[in-house]
């Protein structure tokens, strides 16, 4: 626990949070590091920073299985809602580590400090989301780790570990943007079943995620402009090289466009284009 108070750099704090297998400490470290960075009480990096791990720290559970091994969930049963919330908690936990990883891994990139401001804001909010969803699971008599989860999110990050532009294309502009597509219908179904508490949590997540996609789109366009590349064409090229499978409709075009992700980016990558 004492390590929480010896952080001297942003990269060091982000890495310490990634390394932590205790999820209470992980989320607290993420938020503490973000707050100290916003207050300009940390340097960007230090020679004493620990090396980044291949994988983030995790507790013994949940068991990680292939995506196809995670069954379909009906929101009309309590168990189905628990399974859905567990899956969301898993996504949010991965999102914490992904935001921290983009900061720690790319701390030597020639980008403005406002790049790190944006991603530490994302890390802070993803930690908030994980706690909210886990708290809801606890209220319903369950906990994170009670059910299997899949490992696809971290695999996507691993494939883009050497290319910041590719990381931005895959994580915020595909994985986070997918949340904008599926969350509104999930909220509506939660309300239909009378689970207003879970629907309210999804509302917070949905509104924050718009901002996360916007941060991704902003910096993706920044890097493309610096290299004089067309953003939409570059996005498509990077997705085809680094992302398995095709993008699935329906898309929340309005929310995506509000975040700076227009249809010219993703329409040609939908499943029908590969038929």
Render pLDDT for 174-226 as a digit per residue (tens, 0 to 9): 999 999 999 999 999 999 999 999 999 999 999 999 999 999 999 999 999 99
Determine the average pLDDT of the residues in 9-18. Answer: 97
Please provide residue 49's backbone torsions phi and psi, each rounded to the nearest 5 degrees.
Answer: -60, 140
What confidence category does residue 244 fall into, taking pLDDT thresholds of 50, 70 and 90? Answer: confident
What confidence category does residue 275 fall into, taking pLDDT thresholds of 50, 70 and 90? Answer: very low
Distance CA 105, CA 164 (A): 9
Contacts of 248 (CB under 8 A, 6+ apart): 270, 271
By the 10 Å C-beta count (0-12 exposed, 13-18 middle, 19+ buried), 193 is classed as middle
Q: What pLDDT, in 10s, does the model give residues 115-138?
A: 999 999 999 999 999 999 999 999
Determine the average pLDDT of the residues in 140-146. Answer: 97
Record the tokens describing residue 174, joined without a space.
């595909």
pTM for the full model? 0.93
Distance CA 236, CA 242 (A): 10
């Amino acid at each position: 626990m004492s390590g929480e108070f010896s952080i001297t750099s942003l990269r060091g704090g982000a890495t310490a949070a990634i390394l932590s297998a205790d999820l209470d400490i992980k989320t607290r470290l993420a938020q503490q590091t973000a707050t100290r960075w916003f207050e300009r009480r940390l340097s960007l990096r230090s020679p004493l920073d620990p090396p980044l791990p291949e994988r983030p720290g995790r507790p013994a559970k949940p068991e990680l299985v292939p995506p196809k091994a995670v069954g379909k969930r009906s929101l009309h049963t309590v168990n189905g809602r628990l399974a859905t919330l567990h899956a969301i908690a898993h996504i949010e936990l991965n999102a914490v580590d992904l935001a921290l990883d983009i900061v720690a891994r790319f701390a030597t990139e020639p980008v403005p400090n406002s790049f790190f401001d944006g991603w530490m804001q994302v890390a802070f909010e993803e930690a908030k989301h994980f706690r909210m969803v886990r708290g809801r699971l606890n209220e319903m008599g369950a906990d994170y780790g009670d059910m299997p989860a899949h490992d696809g999110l971290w695999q996507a990050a691993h494939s883009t570990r050497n290319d910041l532009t590719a990381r931005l294309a895959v994580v915020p502009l595909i994985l986070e943007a997918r949340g904008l597509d599926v969350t509104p219908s999930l909220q509506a179904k939660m309300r239909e079943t009378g689970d207003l508490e879970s629907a309210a949590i999804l509302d917070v997540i949905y509104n924050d995620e718009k901002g996360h996609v916007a941060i991704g789109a902003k910096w993706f366009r920044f890097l493309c402009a610096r290299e004089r590349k067309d953003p939409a064409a570059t996005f498509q090229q990077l997705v085809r090289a680094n992302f398995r499978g095709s993008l699935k409709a329906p898309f929340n075009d309005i929310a995506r466009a509000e975040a700076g992700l227009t249809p010219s980016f993703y329409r040609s990558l939908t499943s029908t284009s590969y038929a």
